[in-house]
Structure 1
Amino acid sequence: MSESLLPNNIAELKAYSSAKSEKLTGTTWLNANESPYAKEFQLSLNNLNRYPEPQPENVINAYCSYAQLNAEQVLMTRGADEGIELLMRTYCESGVDSIAIFTPTYGMYKVSADTQNIAINELSQKLLLDAEVSEINEAVGKAKLVFVCNPNNPTGSLTPINKIAALAKSLEGKAIVVVDEAYIEFCPEHSAVSLLQDFNNIAVLRTLSKAFALAGLRTGFLLANSSLLAPVRKVIAPYPVSTAVALIAEQALSSDSVTQMRRQVSILNGNKERLKTLLNGSPKVTQVLSGEGNFVTLQLKDKNDIDAAMQQGTIMRPFSLYGDENWLRISIGNEQELEQVRLWLEQPE
């Protein structure tokens, strides 16, 4: 009976398959682009009988200091995923409007659009990276939101800031360019946040899940100028951020914690270079994509090698890419975790 009540777009929806949705067992977890670093936080919660601040002032101010923005340009969300949802709910009319994405890319853009009955103009990463802005503009068509994951998940490719600026300029009055910077701390010089001073049609998605090592907190930020964010503030839930989350996020954004995060990023970037050297020298690997996030994506000669890794307890993320099923994404872990990858690579074929 309940199935007959479902709208067609939900009945036909293919849900996002996250790394944690698969019930896997292992000892080395390199499948979800998480940080290997855990940190303890202090919580004093004697006021949970009261509703939290809708946008916790201390957290907003701390993120403003970190991102060099003002409070009107920052909206705290439940992970960057809520930012994606909010932009679609605010700016796209269900059954009428569309978004543009450049595949292969993060799967939640498609899931969010499908959920809200918003059409998807699926373009290619190759077009985004190689084509002239005029050609991209034409291909985007009437899309209201144009999603640029930068660095891109799962390929790790980077779209230059000047190209994002040129694309936003060409789409003024037509569309919002949404730059998803979930991994930007691993290459901060490529952030599009500096473009906000010149553009009202650029939105930037951020998260504390990756470099800040807080994937379990589900905290993100939507950054844009006040004219773009004002309607979104009408759409967001009245109390999106719990008191406990706000207290932890405030500590994570302190000056000392940001310094610690940058030190950890430096270590992880070094580990990434060592991993790429291992992969490029392995007979098991046919291709390594040059990525800028906290992961490396590669193509294996034999997909069955993934089973051998899982049997030894090393869990990585297999997926299909460019029509082939022998691709693997390895999150950058600590030295002990990368040692497990080395042992797997050196197993006889």
Structure 2
Amino acid sequence: MSESLLPKNIAELKAYSSAKSEKLTGTTWLNANESPYAKEFQLNLNNLNRYPEPQPENVIKAYCNYSQLNPEQVLMTRGADEGIELLMRTYCESGKDSIAIFTPTYGMYKVSADTQNIAINELDQSLLLDGEVCEITQSVGNAKLVFVCNPNNPTGSLTPVSKIAALAKSLEGKAIVVVDEAYIEFCPEQSAVSLLQDFDNIAVLRTLSKAFALAGLRTGFLLANADLLVAVRKVIAPYPVSTAVALIAEQALSSDSVTQMRRQVAILNGNKTRLKTLLSESSKVTQVLSGEGNFVTLQLRNKCDIDVAMRTGTIMRPFTLFGEDNWLRISIGNEQELEQVKLWLEQPE
């Protein structure tokens, strides 16, 4: 009975398969681009009988200090994923409009569009990286939203800020360029936030899940100029952020915590360099993608080596990329976790 009530686009929808959707057992978790660092927070929860602030003032103020923006340019969301949903719900008309993505890239752009019956103009990541802006603009067509994951997940590739600016300029009055900066703390000099002072058609997605080590909090931010966000504020749920989440996010964005985050990022970037060296020297590996973010994506000579790692409790993320199913993404962990990867690579063929 219920199936007969489903809209066609939902009945045919292929759900996003997250790293945590499979029930895996292991001891070393390097499959979900999480931070290896955990932190304790202080909570005073004696007012849960009251609704929270729709946009918690202290958190918005703290993120403004961090991002060098004004409060009207910052919207707090339930992870960056809600920002993706909100932009589509606000600016795309179901059954009529389209978005543009550059694959391979983050899978939730497609799932969100399919859920809302929004067409997808699927372009190649190489066009974004190597194509001229006029060529990209022409290929984008009538897309209302153009998603640029930067650094890109799962390849780690970077689109220069100058190219994002040129793309936004060529699409003025036609489309919004959505820059997903989930991993930008690992290469902060590449952020497109500085472009907001010159462009009304750029939106930036941010999260506390990666460098801030708060994947379990589900907290993100949508950054854009006030006019763009006015419409989004109409669409967002009335109380999207719980009191507990706001309290933790405020502490995570204190100046001391931001300093600690940057120290941890420096350590993880160092570990990434060491991991890339190990991979480049391994006979198990045929190709390493040299990208940014807290992960390294590589191609294995023998796909069965993934199963060997899983059996020893080292959990990494298999991928099918460029038409081949022997790709693997390894999240950057701490020294002990890096050692487990090293032991796996050193196992005889």
Same fold (TM over 0.5): yes
1:301 aligned partner: 301
**CA distance in structure 2 between the partners assigned to 1:272 and 1:157 by the alignment:** 15
**CA distance in structure 1 between the partners assigned to 2:167 and 2:253 by the alignment:** 32
**1:187 aligned onto 2:190:** no
* 1:319 Cα deviation after fit: 1.1
1:257 aligned partner: 257
Report 1:169-318 matches (<5 A): 169-318=169-318
1:46 aligned partner: 46
* 1:291 Cα deviation after fit: 1.2
**CA distance in structure 2 between the partners assigned to 1:325 and 1:136 by the alignment:** 28
**CA distance in structure 2 between the partners assigned to 1:313 and 1:2 by the alignment:** 40
SS at match of 1:19: coil
Report 1:23-42 matches (<5 A): 23-42=23-42
- Residue deviations 1:178-204, cap 9 Å, x none? 000000000000000000000000000
**CA distance in structure 2 between the partners assigned to 1:44 and 1:246 by the alignment:** 11
**CA distance in structure 2 between the partners assigned to 1:98 and 1:307 by the alignment:** 39
Matched letter for residue 300 of structure 2: L
1:152 aligned partner: 152
**CA distance in structure 2 between the partners assigned to 1:214 and 1:148 by the alignment:** 23
1:92 aligned partner: 92
**CA distance in structure 2 between the partners assigned to 1:205 and 1:198 by the alignment:** 17
Percent identical among aligned pairs is 89
* 1:299 Cα deviation after fit: 0.1
SS at match of 1:278: helix
**1:132 aligned onto 2:128:** no
**CA distance in structure 2 between the partners assigned to 1:105 and 1:78 by the alignment:** 21
**CA distance in structure 2 between the partners assigned to 1:147 and 1:229 by the alignment:** 17
Structure 2 unmatched ranges of 5 or more: none
* 1:265 Cα deviation after fit: 0.1
- Residue deviations 1:321-341, cap 9 Å, x none? 000000000000000000000
- Residue deviations 1:86-139, cap 9 Å, x none? 000000000000000000000000000000000000001100000000000000
**CA distance in structure 2 between the partners assigned to 1:296 and 1:328 by the alignment:** 8
TM-score, length basis structure 2: 1.00
Instruction: Figure out how many residues of one structure are paired with residues of the other and give that number.
Output: 349
**CA distance in structure 1 between the partners assigned to 2:131 and 2:247 by the alignment:** 45
Matched letter for residue 33 of structure 2: N
Structure 1 unmatched ranges of 5 or more: none
**CA distance in structure 2 between the partners assigned to 1:308 and 1:74 by the alignment:** 45
2:76 aligned partner: 76
* 1:213 Cα deviation after fit: 0.0
Matched letter for residue 348 of structure 1: P
Matched letter for residue 119 of structure 1: A
